């Protein structure tokens, strides 16, 4: 899921254990199906807004149990495939748009159950592998751009260190924390501009969480337990026009969710 500030809509594509290939837009009141032609039905893909090129970018995922490596862009009306050369096909990877460097950053994922630990960047024309060191290989982790530090933040996932936090500055990965949310995978992380908010995920023992955490000033802080039911596999983004965090779907051990939640976010104002 990604927010498009030009059309002022939250966009969602695909997902579910039974792969679907539809595109939907949320305007704050209603979901509307749009862009009926585009990527094949899939799960485990990533979706981000490229602010420099005003496009939503989709990469990879699993199509009929086969990991793919295609890159697509959505201009608010139509999908177009723009690349199929770059990272190896994968699913359950994480991507984040680096606003300061105008690059989409990709880390990890899995190919045929094998975790990956490579880092790639997309500049709107081509993919480039930029680092082979850093976090342990992993899947089902989450990433978002921290505007305050101008770094991409990575948390958790299925790995040797499932509750570690890392920062990418465009050249090097640095471990910045190993305390905060309990070890978990399949959580979601979104930037509000001044902070990052994490929700949900599953612990190593299978416990599904419904808590919310904030990353700000280099530290994690637990915010609340109230809100959406505990879940994994959901999607979340920040609506900059309405100042609201938007969350959709997911599942727990017994059911799938098709609910939509919003949380108002009050950003700190600069001093007069």
Beta pairing partners, 122? 104, 127
Contact 235, 259 (CB under 8 A): no
Q: What is the mean pLDDT of residues 175-193?
A: 95
* Number of C-beta neighbours around residue 66 at 10 A: 11
pLDDT digits (tens, 9 = 90+) for 118-177: 999 999 999 999 987 899 999 999 999 999 999 999 999 998 777 899 999 999 999 999
Return the percentage of the chain with pLDDT > 90, whole number: 87
- In 3D, which of 61, 62, 102, 68 has the Cα closest to residue 84? 68
pLDDT at res. 108: 97
pLDDT at res. 271: 40
pLDDT at 10 over 50: yes
pLDDT digits (tens, 9 = 90+) for 23-74: 999 999 999 999 888 999 999 999 999 999 999 999 999 999 999 999 999 9
- In 3D, which of 238, 237, 243 has the Cα closest to residue 269? 243
pLDDT at res. 6: 96
Return the percentage of the chain with pLDDT > 70, whole number: 97
Q: What is the mean pLDDT of residues 203-211?
A: 94
Q: How confident is the model at residue 229 (pLDDT cuts 50, 70, 90)?
A: very high
Q: How confident is the model at residue 84 (pLDDT cuts 50, 70, 90)?
A: confident
Residue 18: both structure tokens together: 């039974």
pTM for this predicted structure: 0.95
pLDDT at res. 269: 42
pLDDT at res. 36: 80
Residue 203: both structure tokens together: 């612990």
Distant-in-sequence contacts of 84-88, Cβ < 8 A, 24+ apart: 85/126, 85/127, 86/120, 86/122, 86/126, 86/127, 87/59, 87/60, 87/118, 87/120, 87/127, 87/129, 88/116, 88/118
Q: Considering the chain, what is the average pLDDT of its residues?
A: 94
In the chain the domains, ranked by start, together with CATH numbers, are: 2-264 (2.120.10.80)
pLDDT at 88 over 90: yes
Burial of 154 (0-12, 13-18, 19+ CB in 10 A): buried
Residue 216: both structure tokens together: 């700000």
The helix/strand/coil state of 143 is: strand
pLDDT at res. 267: 58
């Amino acid at each position: 899921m990604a927010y498009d500030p030009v059309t002022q809509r939250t966009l969602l594509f695909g997902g579910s254990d039974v792969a679907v290939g539809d595109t939907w837009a949320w305007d704050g009141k209603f979901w509307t199906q749009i862009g009926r032609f585009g990527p094949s039905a899939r799960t485990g893909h990533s979706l981000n807004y490229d602010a420099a090129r005003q496009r939503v970018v989709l990469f990879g995922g699993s199509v009929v149990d086969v990991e793919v490596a295609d890159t697509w862009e959505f201009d608010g009306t139509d999908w177009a495939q723009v690349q199929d050369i770059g990272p190896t096909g994968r699913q359950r990877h994480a991507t984040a748009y680096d606003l300061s460097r105008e690059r989409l950053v990709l880390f990890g994922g899995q190919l045929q159950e094998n975790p990956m630990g490579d880092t790639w960047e997309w500049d709107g024309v081509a993919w480039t592998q930029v680092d082979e060191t850093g976090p342990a290989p992993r899947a089902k982790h989450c990433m978002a751009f921290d505007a305050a530090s101008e770094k991409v933040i990575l948390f958790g996932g299925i790995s040797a260190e499932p509750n570690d936090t890392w920062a990418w500055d465009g050249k090097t990965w640095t471990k910045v924390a190993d305390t905060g949310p309990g070890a978990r995978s399949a959580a979601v992380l979104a930037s509000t501009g001044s902070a990052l908010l994490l929700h949900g995920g599953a612990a190593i023992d299978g416990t599904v969480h419904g808590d919310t955490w904030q990353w700000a000033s280099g530290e994690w802080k637990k915010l609340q337990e109230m809100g959406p039911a505990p879940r994994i596999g959901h999607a979340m983004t920040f609506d900059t026009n309405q100042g609201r965090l938007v969350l959709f779907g997911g599942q727990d051990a017994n059911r799938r969710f098709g609910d939509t939640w919003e949380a108002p976010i009050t950003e700190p104002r600069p001093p007069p």
